[in-house]
């Protein structure tokens, strides 16, 4: 049964969502394995259109083979494709990894950039990837990383009516405290994977079911 909280304005609903999900997932953080800025950049690029579990399996061997941006920049493209094959779209991903790291070597002195503007210059990097790298590698909050889970949940929760990821990010940034931007990303991803799934959301066990406009509306 829904309560009066269902009628909360988006900003107040967002704060309530964060409060409830923080209790549910106190250790929410990126599931990608990495030990340095380059590794989180590589892993995030590879994570497009696949699962973090698959990426972590791939990078376990990949990171043993390639250690620096120069390693990727000078890699044999066919060999690189073999390493990342199971992540899907491996031709394009291998090309992006190689070109991305070439630019890191040539323009950024072998260091993964620390600004949104510079990261967006890298092949294969859009705002979602840049946000993840900045926050997880450098502790810099520049925005909200909008993936498929964040898109789905923010729409179901009535926090945005947009479909474009950049527009969704803009909406969410306006109603979320800045210090919660990236933690909110991780919370929504955790909840999207475990409860608010794409096809059959588990509304009956969802901690948000009393404040979610979409709760129990799925057949």
Question: Where in the sequence numbering do the catalytic residues fall?
Answer: 128, 147
DSSP state of 32: -
Q: Residue 90 has which token pair? A: 């491996």
Buried b (16+ CB within 10 A) or exposed e, 40-79: bbbbbbbbbebebeebbebbeebbeebeebeebbebeeee
d(CA 181, CA 21): 14
Q: Provide the total of helices (H) and of strands (E) in the chain, helices listed first.
A: 11, 0
Q: Residue 22 has which token pair? A: 């923080």
Percent helix / strand / coil, the chain, rounded to 5: 60, 0, 40
d(CA 54, CA 83): 12
């Amino acid at each position: 049964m829904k309560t009066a909280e269902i009628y909360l304005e988006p900003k107040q609903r967002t704060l309530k969502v964060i409060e409830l999900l923080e209790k549910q997932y106190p250790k929410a953080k990126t599931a990608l394995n990495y030990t340095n800025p380059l590794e989180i950049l590589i892993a995030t690029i590879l994570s497009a259109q696949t699962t973090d579990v698959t990426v972590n399996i791939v990078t376990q061997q990949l990171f043993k083979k390639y250690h620096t941006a120069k390693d990727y920049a000078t890699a044999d493209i066919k060999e690189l494709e073999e390493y990342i094959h199971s992540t899907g779209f491996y031709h394009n991903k291998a090309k992006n990894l190689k070109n991305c790291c070439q630019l890191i070597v040539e323009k950024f002195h072998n260091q993964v950039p620390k600004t949104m503007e510079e990261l967006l210059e890298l092949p294969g990097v859009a705002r979602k990837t840049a946000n993840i790298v900045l926050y997880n590698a450098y502790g810099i909050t520049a925005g909200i990383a909008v993936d498929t889970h964040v898109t789905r949940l923010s729409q179901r929760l009535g926090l945005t009516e947009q479909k474009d990821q950049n527009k969704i990010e803009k909406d969410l940034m306006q109603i979320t405290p800045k210090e919660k931007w990236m933690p909110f990303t991780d919370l929504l991803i955790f909840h999207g994977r475990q409860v608010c799934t794409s096809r059959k959301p588990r509304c009956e066990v969802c901690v948000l079911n009393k404040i979610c406009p979409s709760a129990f509306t799925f057949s």
